[in-house]
Amino acid sequence: MIERTGTVRFTARHAFTALSRPKLPKMPDLEPALAVLEQHGYLRRLPGPPTTGRGRPPAPVYETNPRVQ
């Protein structure tokens, strides 16, 4: 997805909706894959905004490595 679309920054939710449901049927199924990509330097998780304690926390935001683009 990153090379094909030229994505620079995306949320975990955006990545989840772009993928095939049979391969990753639930959002928690995607988290290990994002962690591996981050460990290998393809992605960097950006710090999230401070939480106020109300509502659902925002989806994590990732930035792609410029060498991948």
Per-residue pLDDT tens over the stretch 3-53: 777 789 999 999 888 887 787 889 899 999 999 999 999 999 999 888 777
Phi-psi region of 23 (alpha: psi -120 to 50; beta: other; left: phi over 0): alpha
- Residue scoring higher pLDDT (60 or 5): 60
Which of 26, 58, 28, 27 minimizes the C-alpha distance to 45? 58
